[in-house]
């Protein structure tokens, strides 16, 4: 008794645990499906969604069109976000251009970056939910609001990309440069992504193969249905398309390094010295641009040169200023708002020297992510003014720094409209600075400059080698975006000194370093001065080792993943077949054990027909006995043949109904319900057998008759026998019913 109670208690506990686990799993699945349908279709109530068969259309043609629009929006948003992220080096220039058009200073570049990120995240999540719904074989129904937002995303991203392509084509050049330096790492990352994708793809391929095999085992009626809707061909096409596409992409990635050129993949002995740094308008991330504080901060970080911009006032005083007006960097709006939009050269030096050139810097902090200044630096920056050229030359002379500047001509009507170059040359010569420290960039009146100051080092633009040779120029100052696409190798072969502007990002500086550029102009002096070696640098041998190792390792891992899921699916298929065969054999019990089923509780009517599973023994039975014959009904339920095609010489009436067996994946239960056959008194109790084949058929029918007379001891819908009943009734002989 105690053992029985303990056993029953253990069974009840196991049952409670199984039920709790089932409830938890079912509840989580319901939440999961509700989340998918809610986010994609805005249907936040769980329902029994109809799952279409594998190989059939997942949704209507209208929904397929909107899903294609979703994919297009995702691609456009990702493309725009990639281009904008890679052009972060130009954010300050973009904000300046927008300020010139709107008159309002703001981090417009960061706003555009956030907008691109939001659009990309939105389309990515929506596309992910769509793929998960397809994985669950739930019909796609995109909500109307999502459809409207998708079209807005397509229009907005297309507009922004069009604007970049029309007015700022250099952005595309930066994206190309980023691919040059990041290509080896993008290659390695994409292979890792393919390994991750191989897991769900292997599951899908294994399921498709199982579905194909299952349809091979169907009876003729279902084969006819398949021929009409071409489901079998769709399954094969889907399987081949998915597998072949994955294989082609993987092979392309394996061979990708053969077409990759990266300047930072080179031997150590071919790596040149670190490019010299020129402070762009001083150190504009540490102090107000084009002020003496800014240039002094640049000198503190050990720059090799100083870059600035020069205008000439009405009273012939050269001063440092970049913009054509004074609104961005000074407080002229507060002092003289009526003249705020006037050209910078239209003021005299007395008025210019009275303006504050540091308060605007403290208020707006023109660079995103700037470090906070100390109290001393804040106080010093708030008292800065516009410096003269002579002050700037005095600092460069004292620190022996190279001077590089742009010289802007005054507007029409200015007294020095045609002689401003000569005035600037006179100020430089009067400062007594060494002429070799002057990198003369302006092209206007260059012959006069060569005559008056033969020691100046003249700097050219992005000119051809022949033009540089003709003008006796050995230094060029070019935009980095243009340089890497226009004759960089030719300049290095001709031993031209290469100076590029403006580089703020470490990856761009590393690219210039690996390309043997001599010097760069930068705003980010503090960060670039700390780099001791180029980022993303690797030797060809090291990259080759990484390439081969990752290719081989990924191929092995992907192969193991596919084999694992393939074998797992085969084992599942064999287990289902074994379970179905065992249940089928349990139905056909020997005649000696038939009396254990003889009870007066046999129902007079057969139970309702139950839908069959494709793995039930009945499928195998019908497919093996009735293959080649067409079925005449369209019901999905199984009905036993009304008449057995076995010849008899006696007058025993044939059975009117057979047996029904249903096998489900979670339990192995069988039901056998057949009415008792009646024999007339004048009929013979047994058939007359003429040959062995007829005898075998007769034996089958007799066993069916005995099965129909069995009276089950348990519930009518179950034929499972306990070990005790089997032992108790073992050896009993069946009684013969006499007519």
User: Could you read off the pLDDT of 213-251 as tens digits, one per residue?
Assistant: 766 665 444 554 545 456 667 777 777 888 888 999 999
| pLDDT for 520 beyond 90 | yes
Average of per-residue pLDDT across 388-396: 95
Give the model's confidence band at 476: pLDDT under 50 very low, under 70 low, under 90 confident, else very high. very high
pLDDT tens digits, one per residue of 132-147: 888 887 888 899 999 9
Say what the pLDDT of residue 76 is. Answer: 95
Q: Which of the two residues, 670 and 41, has the higher pLDDT score? A: 41
| pLDDT for 494 beyond 60 | yes
Q: Which two tokens stand for residue 70?
A: 């979703």
Say what the pLDDT of residue 204 is. Answer: 82
Say what the pLDDT of residue 257 is. Answer: 84
- Structure letter (DSSP) for residue 597: G
| pLDDT for 107 beyond 50 | yes
In SS3 terms, 486-517 reads as CCHHHHHHCCCEEEEECCCCHHHHHHHHHCCC
> Crossing angle for the helix pair 420-430 and 389-399, nearest 10 degrees?
40
478: left (phi over 0), alpha (psi -120 to 50) or beta: beta
Say what the pLDDT of residue 441 is. Answer: 93
Most confident of 379-388, 617-626, 702-711: 379-388
Average of per-residue pLDDT across 362-368: 90
119: left (phi over 0), alpha (psi -120 to 50) or beta: alpha
| pLDDT for 26 beyond 60 | no
Say what the pLDDT of residue 62 is. Answer: 87
Q: Which of the two residues, 589 and 658, has the higher pLDDT score? A: 589
Average of per-residue pLDDT across 651-659: 39
- H or E segment at 403? strand 402-407
Give the model's confidence band at 177: pLDDT under 50 very low, under 70 low, under 90 confident, else very high. confident
Q: The dihedral of CA 351, 385, 501, 468: what is its sign?
A: positive
| pLDDT for 294 beyond 90 | yes
144: left (phi over 0), alpha (psi -120 to 50) or beta: alpha
Asked if 155 contacts 119 with a C-beta cutoff of 8 angstroms, the reply is no
Give the model's confidence band at 22: pLDDT under 50 very low, under 70 low, under 90 confident, else very high. low
Q: Measured between alpha carbons, how far is 675 from 200 in angstroms, rounded to an integer?
A: 50
Most confident of 77-86, 237-246, 579-588, 674-683: 77-86
Cβ atoms within 10 Å of 421's Cβ, excluding its own: 21
pLDDT tens digits, one per residue of 197-213: 998 888 888 877 777 77
Say what the pLDDT of residue 615 is. Answer: 39
Q: Which of the two residues, 32 and 638, has the higher pLDDT score? A: 32
pLDDT tens digits, one per residue of 660-671: 443 443 343 434
Number of Cα atoms under 13 Å in the Cβ half of residue 389: 27
What backbone phi and psi angles, to 5 degrees, belong to 5?
A: -65, -40
Average of per-residue pLDDT across 423-444: 93
Number of Cα atoms under 13 Å in the Cβ half of residue 311: 24
Q: Which of the two residues, 366 and 570, has the higher pLDDT score? A: 366
Q: Any idea which residue has 């720059």 for tokens?
A: 303
Q: Which two tokens stand for residue 690?
A: 């003429």
Q: List, in order, residues 6 or more apart from 393 with CB less than 8 Å away.
A: 403, 427, 428, 431, 433
How far lies 286's CA from each of 299, 319, 366, 637, in Å?
12, 21, 11, 82
Percent residues over pLDDT 90 in the chain: 40
Say what the pLDDT of residue 178 is. Answer: 87
pLDDT tens digits, one per residue of 665-699: 334 343 434 444 444 444 444 444 444 444 444 44
Say what the pLDDT of residue 349 is. Answer: 94
Burial class (CB in 10 A: 0-12, 13-18, 19+), 713: middle
Average of per-residue pLDDT across 416-433: 93
Asked if 307 contacts 278 with a C-beta cutoff of 8 angstroms, the reply is yes
> Crossing angle for the helix pair 108-135 and 61-86, nearest 10 degrees?
140
Mean pLDDT, the chain, as a whole number? 77
| pLDDT for 581 beyond 80 | no
Average of per-residue pLDDT across 515-543: 91
Three-class SS state of 308: strand
pLDDT tens digits, one per residue of 591-645: 444 444 444 444 444 443 333 333 333 433 343 343 343 443 333 334 444 444 4
Give the model's confidence band at 482: pLDDT under 50 very low, under 70 low, under 90 confident, else very high. confident
Three-class SS state of 420: helix
List for the chain the helix, strand, coil content (%; round to 5).
55, 5, 40
What backbone phi and psi angles, to 5 degrees, belong to 514?
A: -65, -25
Cβ atoms within 10 Å of 424's Cβ, excluding its own: 20
DSSP bridge partners of 319: 311, 388
Cβ atoms within 10 Å of 413's Cβ, excluding its own: 9
Q: Which two tokens stand for residue 47?
A: 């329902």
| pLDDT for 585 beyond 50 | yes
């Amino acid at each position: 008794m105690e053992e029985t109670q303990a056993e029953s208690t253990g069974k009840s506990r196991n049952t409670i645990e199984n039920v709790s686990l089932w409830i938890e799993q079912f509840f989580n699945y319901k939440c999961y499906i509700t989340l998918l349908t809610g986010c994609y279709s805005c249907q936040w109530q769980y329902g029994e969604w109809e799952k279409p068969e594998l190989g059939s259309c997942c949704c209507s043609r209208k929904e397929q069109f909107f899903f294609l629009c979703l994919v297009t929006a995702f691609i456009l948003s990702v493309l725009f976000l990639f281009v904008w992220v890679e052009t972060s080096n130009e954010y300050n220039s973009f904000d300046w251009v927008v300020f010139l058009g709107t008159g309002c200073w703001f981090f417009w570049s960061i706003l555009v970056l956030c907008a691109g990120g939001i659009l990309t995240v939105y389309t990515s999540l929506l596309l992910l939910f769509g793929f998960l719904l397809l994985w669950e074989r739930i019909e796609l129904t995109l909500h109307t609001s999502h459809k409207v937002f998708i079209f807005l995303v397509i229009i907005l991203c297309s507009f922004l990309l069009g604007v970049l392509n029309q007015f700022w084509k250099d952005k595309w050049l930066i994206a190309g440069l980023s691919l040059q330096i990041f290509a080896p790492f993008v290659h390695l990352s994409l292979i890792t992504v393919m390994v991750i994708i191989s897991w769900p793809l292997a599951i899908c391929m294994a399921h498709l193969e199982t579905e194909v095999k299952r349809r091979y085992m169907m009876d003729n009626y279902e084969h006819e249905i398949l021929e009409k809707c071409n489901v079998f061909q769709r399954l094969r096409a889907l399987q081949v398309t998915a597998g072949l596409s994955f294989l082609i992409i993987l092979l392309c990635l394996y061979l990708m390094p053969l077409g990759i050129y990266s300047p930072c993949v080179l031997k150590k002995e071919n790596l040149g010295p670190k490019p010299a740094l020129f402070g762009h308008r001083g150190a504009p991330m540490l102090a107000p641009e084009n002020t003496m504080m800014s240039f002094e901060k640049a000198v503190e970080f050990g720059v090799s040169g100083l870059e600035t911009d020069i205008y000439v006032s009405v009273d012939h005083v050269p001063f440092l200023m970049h913009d054509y007006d004074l609104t961005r960097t000074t407080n002229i709006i507060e002092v003289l708002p009526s003249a705020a939009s006037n050209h910078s050269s239209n003021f005299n030096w007395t008025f210019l020297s009275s303006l504050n050139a540091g308060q605007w810097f403290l208020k707006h902090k023109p660079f995103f992510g700037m470090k906070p200044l100390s109290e001393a630096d804040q106080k010093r920056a708030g008292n800065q003014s516009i410096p003269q050229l002579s002050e700037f030359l005095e600092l460069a002379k004292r620190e022996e720094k190279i001077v590089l500047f742009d010289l802007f001509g005054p507007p029409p009507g200015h007294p020095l409209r045609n002689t401003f170059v000569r005035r600037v040359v006179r100020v430089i010569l009067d400062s007594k600075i060494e002429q070799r420290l002057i990198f003369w960039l302006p092209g206007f009146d260059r012959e006069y400059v060569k005559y008056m100051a033969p020691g100046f080092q003249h700097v050219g633009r992005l000119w051809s080698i022949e033009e540089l040779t003709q003008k006796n120029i050995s230094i060029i100052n070019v935009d980095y975006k243009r340089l890497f696409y226009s004759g960089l190798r030719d300049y290095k072969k001709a031993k031209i000194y290469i100076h590029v502007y403006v580089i703020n990002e470490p990856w761009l500086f590393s690219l210039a370093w690996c390309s043997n550029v001599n010097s760069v102009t930068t705003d980010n002096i503090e960060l670039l001065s700390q780099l001791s070696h180029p980022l993303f640098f690797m030797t060809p041998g090291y990259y080759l080792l990484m390439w081969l190792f990752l290719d081989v390792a990924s191929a092995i891992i992907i192969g193991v993943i596919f084999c694992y899921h393939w074998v797992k699916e085969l084992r599942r298929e064999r287990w289902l077949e074994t379970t179905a065969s065992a249940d089928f054999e349990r139905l056909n019990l020997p005649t000696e054990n038939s009396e254990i089923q003889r009870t007066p509780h046999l129902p007079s009517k057969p139970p309702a027909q139950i839908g069959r599973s494709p793995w039930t023994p009945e499928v195998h039975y019908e497919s093996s006995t009735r293959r080649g014959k067409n079925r005449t009904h369209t019901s999905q339920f199984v009905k036993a043949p009304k008449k057995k095609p076995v010849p008899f010489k006696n007058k025993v009436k044939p059975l009117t109904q057979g047996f029904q067996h249903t096998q489900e994946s979670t339990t192995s239960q069988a039901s056998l319900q057949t009415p008792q056959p009646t024999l007339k008194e004048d009929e013979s109790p047994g058939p007359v057998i003429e040959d062995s084949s007829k005898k075998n058929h007769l034996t089958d029918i007799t066993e069916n008759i005995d099965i129909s007379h069995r009276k089950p001891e348990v519930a009518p819908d179950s034929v499972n026998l306990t070990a005790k009943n089997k032992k108790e009734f073992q050896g009993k002989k069946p009684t013969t019913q006499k007519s």
